[in-house]
Structure 1
Amino acid sequence: MEIQMHPEAELCFPELPNSSCRKPTLHWSKTVLLNVGLSSISVITAALNLLIIISVYHFRQLHTPSNILLLSLAVSDFFVGFLLLPVEIFKNTACWVFGDLMCSLYIYLSGILMNASIEIIVFISVDRYVAICDPLHYPTRITVTRVKLSVCLCWFYAIFYMSLYTKDVLIKPGRYASCYGECVFFIEDITGTVDIVLCFFVPVIIIIVLYTRVFVVAVSQARAMRSHVTAVTLQRSLNQSNKSELKAARNLGVLVIVFLASICPFYFYSLVDGNVVKASSATFLIIVYFNACLNPLIYTLFYPWFRNAVKLIITLQIFKHNNAYRAQVKALTSWCPDNNLLLNVSKTKELIVEYKRLQGSRNTPFDIEETEVERVTCCRFLGININEDLSWSHHIDVITKAVRQRLFFLRWLRRFGMD
């Protein structure tokens, strides 16, 4: 016996039988997948990107041009996980009950975040292209100030572009809705073509060209280093060069493939159907949003700097004294083996430069590879004696003592008639 449900029970607004949409009817497995799976992705996306935001903002040594771009990308991806994904889950499992104005704002915000993410990834491609292909001019061409200005222009452009792109639904919310309880958005053929060219084809072409050039240069540099290493070192160094070459190829390939795999299905679907915000396009839109969860893993969490920073945040060590200093030391110890360098811990000294008295007593000693580093008040670096208070007194005393010793011997030589 089959149970029949009254038609009004399937309406979003039973009090409006002639103009109300019907409730989404999904199989229980799809409902569980959307509610549990996508909710987990939403939480993970927001949490990972929030860790990146805190890391770059808190640790001053991470305030570099590349990390400023990663911070902007993390901000965009954080709002994707915190706002867009939960709304997308609700929109596909229930009726839209927030009104036409909120639907227009959702479309407007999703477009801004998507465009900003694409533009920032293009800026990251440019940054890495200059860093690898023109490393000598990188510090002068790519500065923190210029990157911050570029990020601001990127967000202003995304806001301006989406204001023009969605002006119809912003001026008249709900103009494309056929019934109450629906959130849809249609675009004209010409507008859709221009949007796909500006927001998809142009960025993808730029990214592919730049990363291809970066890949070629990186491989050529690795081969040049490998040939040089072969002539002067052992076979072990040769194997390390091969690993560096494969690592560069893998990382660049992952960056391009994941980005294209996430964004291509949505824009290819847009070529077929002009309705880019309806139930049938939800799968492709969710794939684009899922890229926000992958970005922090690809761009940041694979680097020792951010792994150490995240560890300090999770363990709440950022509230302790000199945490940034310890994070920098840990990053240095991780950077050395990754770049085929050996850190001699027995010859490593710790010198704390500060002007506040008794401040150093609160800094507990740290260890490298389970070996405690010796703390000194003065050290010699490139012939200069550096004191903990950055005064010249110790350096002058050392020079004066050396001069006195030499003058003493010169006077004795003069007494014996040796001029």
Structure 2
Amino acid sequence: MTMESLEGAGLCFPQLNSSCKIPKRPYTETMLINVLLSSISMVTVALNLLVIISISHFRQLHNPTNLFLLSLAVSDLLVGLLLMPIEIIYIDTCWFLGDIVCTLYYVVDYTITSASVANMVLLSFDRYIAICDPLHYPTKVTKSRAEICVCLCWFGSVFYRILLLNDHLEQPGRSISCLGECVVVINYIAGAVDLVFTFIIPITLIIILYIRVFVAVVSQTRAIRSHIAAVTVQGRRVSNVKKSEMKAARTLGIVVVVFLICFCPYYSPILAGQDISVDASSAAFEIWLAHFNSCLNPMIYAFFYPWFRKSIKLIVTLQILKPGSRDAKML
């Protein structure tokens, strides 16, 4: 082997001097990372697919709240089905799909992430109205309004992300330093805007709604218990109501904590006054942690509901293939 071939052996494009070097990791480390990330991807797809099938199939689950949950599951499914596999493939190899596909990948990535966050906010508003204003909930949160909100959520996410990545769409590959990588660098100003609209505002809204829900649950429970504490049977009913409402409040609290844990590392450069550099061909820990939120969302939202556990049994045992299964009692 000649000296030139030895020098070019570790490059993505050996014939070009501007080529990136092929990422190298120990074989054992590479295998462990691939197995772990592939498992996360498959679990993400499986869990969100179960949520989607459950809500779409059973008529009793066709309500505004589950429509928001369905939209969230679709965004999280796309993370596990489209984004995670690409990142797994390019952990220890070069990007060979070109600059245009690289930019489109990030547009899709950011759009799905934004839609997921927006769906979480919609769910928080839905539960806030259901608990704090239950008498007007049927008129305020209708199926048609929920459908409009979901559509606005997705269209808004697409428009916002195209606007944010407009420079990269006009000039694909502007952030790339060598051939064979897929990198997008978001400057501090654009990153700060993204931080506000995708992180600070949603989290602030969710926290405020969570606090108001918690206060409402406590005050309602105390008021009811003060009136009927002497009646044992009714007291048990109040206890059940309290448990149900506290479970909803606790769910929102878990969502806030998990979302913060998953997204804080990604936005830490902006918080430190630096540009955000996102590299699909390196599968950075921050990206995977943010995407891992899509695996946790169905666990947080769905596993808190008995109807989901029941629907899993019907799906796994293929009972949903029987005539009339759509009308099964799930609630």
Answer whether TM exceeds 0.5 for this pair.
yes
* Residue 266 (structure 1) aligned with residue 270 (structure 2): no
1:168 matched residue in structure 2: 167
Shift of 1:198: 1.4
- The change in CA–CA distance for 1:98 and 1:270 in structure 2 (over 3 A counts) is farther
User: 2:29, 2:155 → 1: CA distance?
Assistant: 38
1:306 matched residue in structure 2: 308
User: 1:55, 1:235 → 2: CA distance?
Assistant: 33
Structure 2: state its 5+ residue gaps.
none
With structure 2 as the length reference, what TM-score do the two structures score? 0.91
| 2:323 partner SS | coil
* Residue 285 (structure 1) aligned with residue 287 (structure 2): yes
- The change in CA–CA distance for 1:246 and 1:126 in structure 2 (over 3 A counts) is closer
User: 1:192, 1:157 → 2: CA distance?
Assistant: 18
User: 1:267, 1:198 → 2: CA distance?
Assistant: 12
* Paired residues of 1:222 and 1:245 also in contact (CA < 8 A): no
Shift of 1:228: 4.3
Shift of 1:194: 1.4
* Paired residues of 1:95 and 1:182 also in contact (CA < 8 A): yes
1:224 matched residue in structure 2: 223
2:256 matched residue in structure 1: 256
Higher Rg of the two aligned structures:
1
Structure 1: state its 5+ residue gaps.
333-419
| 2:138 partner SS | helix
- The change in CA–CA distance for 1:153 and 1:249 in structure 2 (over 3 A counts) is closer
* Paired residues of 1:129 and 1:211 also in contact (CA < 8 A): yes
* Residue 201 (structure 1) aligned with residue 200 (structure 2): yes
Shift of 1:244: 5.3
2:132 matched residue in structure 1: 133
The share of aligned pairs that are identical, in percent, is 52
Q: How many residues align?
A: 324
2:277 matched residue in structure 1: 276
Shift of 1:281: 7.5
Question: Which amino acid letter does the alignment assign opposite residue 299 of structure 2?
Answer: L
Shift of 1:321: 1.7
- The change in CA–CA distance for 1:281 and 1:126 in structure 2 (over 3 A counts) is same
Shift of 1:286: 0.5
- The change in CA–CA distance for 1:241 and 1:161 in structure 2 (over 3 A counts) is closer
User: 1:82, 1:283 → 2: CA distance?
Assistant: 19
Query: Which region of structure 1 is more displaced relative to structure 2, 192-201 or 126-135?
Result: 192-201
User: 1:286, 1:30 → 2: CA distance?
Assistant: 17
- The change in CA–CA distance for 1:239 and 1:145 in structure 2 (over 3 A counts) is closer
User: 2:192, 2:89 → 1: CA distance?
Assistant: 29
Question: Relative CO higher for 1 or 2, CA cutoff 8 Å, sep ≥ 6?
Answer: 2
* Paired residues of 1:218 and 1:248 also in contact (CA < 8 A): no
With structure 1 as the length reference, what TM-score do the two structures score? 0.72
- The change in CA–CA distance for 1:239 and 1:116 in structure 2 (over 3 A counts) is closer
* Paired residues of 1:215 and 1:252 also in contact (CA < 8 A): no
The two structures, once aligned, show a CA RMSD in angstroms of: 2.3
